A and B are shown apart, each in its own frame.
Chain A
Amino acid sequence: QSVLTQPPSVSAAPGQKVTISCSGSSSNIGNNHVSWYQQLPGAAPKLLIYGNYKRPSGIPDRFSGSKSGTSATLGITGLQAGDEADYYCGAWDGSLSDDFVFGTGTKVTVL
Chain B
Amino acid sequence: QVQLVESGGGVVQPGRSLRLSCVASGFTFSSYGMHWVRQAPGKGLEWVAVIWYDGSKKYYVDSVKGRFTISRDQSKNTLYLQMNSLRVEDTAVYYCARDEQEAIDYWGQGTLVTVSS
Question: What is the interface of chain A, defined by CB distance below 8 A to chain B?
Answer: 2, 32-33, 35, 37, 39, 44-47, 50-51, 56, 86, 88, 90-92, 97-105
Residue count of chain B within 8 Å CB distance of chain A: 22
Chain B facing A: main interface SS: strand
Please measure, in the bound complex, the distance between the C-alpha atom of A86 and the C-alpha atom of B57, giving whole angstroms.
31
Please measure, in the bound complex, the distance between the C-alpha atom of A88 and the C-alpha atom of B43, giving whole angstroms.
12
Contact A44:B103 (CB < 8 A) given known A88-B45, A102-B44: no
- 15 example contacts (A-B, Cβ-Cβ < 8 A) are as follows A35-B103, A37-B45, A44-B107, A44-B108, A45-B45, A47-B103, A47-B106, A51-B101, A90-B103, A99-B61, A100-B47, A102-B47, A103-B44, A104-B44, A105-B45
Residues of A within 8 Å of B45, CB to CB, are 37, 39, 45, 88, 90, 102, 105
Please measure, in the bound complex, the distance between the C-alpha atom of A92 and the C-alpha atom of B47, giving whole angstroms.
10
Residues of A within 8 Å of B44, CB to CB, are 2, 86, 88, 102-105
Please measure, in the bound complex, the distance between the C-alpha atom of A39 and the C-alpha atom of B42, giving whole angstroms.
12
Residues of B within 8 Å of A50, CB to CB, are 100-103, 105
User: Once the chains bind, are A32 and B95 in contact (CB under 8 Å)?
Assistant: no
| CB-contacts of B88-104 with A (<8 A) | 95, 100-104
